[in-house]
């Protein structure tokens, strides 16, 4: 029975949550660490996905609160994005129950490559705030709906897409982009989590143990990102995006 996880398994899940929270708070991609661990201890895929959303929600909330409390994210400027992210995630979470995500699964590594190379070759991207390429409200309507839908529908790489979009189209610096990403990720995570809870696909004991690690890791990771700034976040972000691409390519074609 999946409810009969050993103390060793719980210890592994706590440590994994700690690591995933740390990485996710800086550059996203924590789910690529957490989900394999949940599958490895014997959870069925649907339960592993739901439990991953539970523990990840705690991590994104912890990191978001840290960025907001340090004044690096103004929550008052995020309401439009949060509202449309919520709507997009609801639509995506409903549609995924009736459709195959195969097409998106093959498309995402290609789009992430675009984000990776654009960031890599734009040497000053995110080091300082830049002039936005579109209005804030229009940006949040378009990307909130689109990325909220994607996170509810599929999910991997959402944080990287948010950070890349905020850097490129709103001209935020790297720290502000990462902080805003955590806020939007939390919104879409909560929507997806609600769907999994309704479906009975969350193992609360495992999720809450991982959540404890997530909160600690996310607090440490966001604190380091705030302290070290863009010079630290940029290479970390590029590394996580590259690993995400390799991981998705392996899953799709390996």
Q: Is 50 exceeded by the pLDDT of residue 58?
A: yes
190 burial via Cβ count (<10 Å: 0-12, 13-18, 19+): middle
pLDDT band at 112 (very low <50, low <70, confident <90, very high): confident
Categorize the per-residue pLDDT at 230 as very low, low, confident or very high, splitting at 50, 70 and 90.
confident
Q: Averaged over 3-14, what is the pLDDT?
A: 87
* Residue at 1 is within a domain: no
Most confident of 35-39, 126-130, 148-152, 209-213: 209-213
Average confidence (pLDDT) over 172-197: 93
Burial 163-189 (b: 16+ CB within 10 A, else e): bbbbbbbbbbbbbbbbbbbbbbbbbbb
Highest mean pLDDT among 116-125, 154-163, 207-216: 207-216
Q: How far apart are CA 66 and CA 76, in angstroms?
A: 16
Contact between 89 and 147 under an 8 Å Cβ cutoff? The reply is no
Residue 100: predicted pLDDT: 67
In a domain, 118, yes or no: yes
- Could you tell me if residue 176 is inside a domain? yes
Q: Assess whether pLDDT exceeds 90 at residue 16.
A: yes
pLDDT, residue 66, reads: 94
C-alpha 52: how far from its chain's center? 11
The range of the structural domain enclosing residue 225 comes to 7-253
Q: Is residue 170 part of a domain?
A: yes
At residue 205, the pLDDT reads 94
- Residue 1, pLDDT above cutoff 50: no
Position 2 in a domain: no
Mean pLDDT of 241-251: 86
Q: Tally the domains of the chain.
A: 1
Higher-pLDDT residue of 27, 73: 73
Instruction: Give residue 248's pLDDT.
Output: 82
Indicate the pLDDT class of residue 50, thresholds 50, 70 and 90: confident
């Amino acid at each position: 029975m999946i409810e009969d996880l050993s103390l060793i398994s719980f210890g592994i899940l706590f440590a994994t949550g700690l690591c995933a929270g740390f990485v996710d708070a800086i550059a996203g991609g924590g789910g690529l660490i957490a989900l394999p661990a949940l599958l490895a201890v014997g959870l069925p895929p649907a339960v592993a996905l739901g439990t991953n959303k539970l523990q990840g929600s705690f991590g994104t909330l912890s990191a978001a609160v840290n960025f907001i409390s340090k004044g690096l994210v103004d929550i008052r400027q995020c309401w439009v994005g949060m509202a449309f992210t919520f709507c997009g995630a609801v639509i995506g979470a409903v549609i995924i129950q009736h459709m195959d995500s195969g097409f998106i699964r093959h498309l995402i590594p290609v789009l992430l490559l675009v984000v990776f190379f654009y960031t890599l070759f734009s040497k000053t991207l995110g080091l300082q705030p830049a002039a936005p390429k579109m209005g804030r409200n229009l940006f949040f309507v378009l990307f909130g709906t689109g990325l909220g839908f994607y996170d509810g529908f599929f999910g991997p790489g959402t944080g990287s897409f948010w950070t890349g979009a905020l850097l490129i189209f709103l001209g935020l610096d790297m720290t502000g982009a990462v902080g805003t990403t955590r806020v939007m990720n939390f919104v879409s995570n909560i929507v997806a989590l609600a769907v999994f809870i309704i479906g009975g696909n969350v193992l609360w004991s495992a999720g809450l143990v991982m959540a404890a690690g997530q909160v600690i890791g996310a607090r440490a990771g966001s604190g380091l990102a705030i302290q070290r700034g863009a010079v630290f976040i940029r290479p970390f972000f590029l590394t996580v995006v590259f690993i995400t691409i390799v991981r998705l390519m392996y899953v799709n074609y390996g």
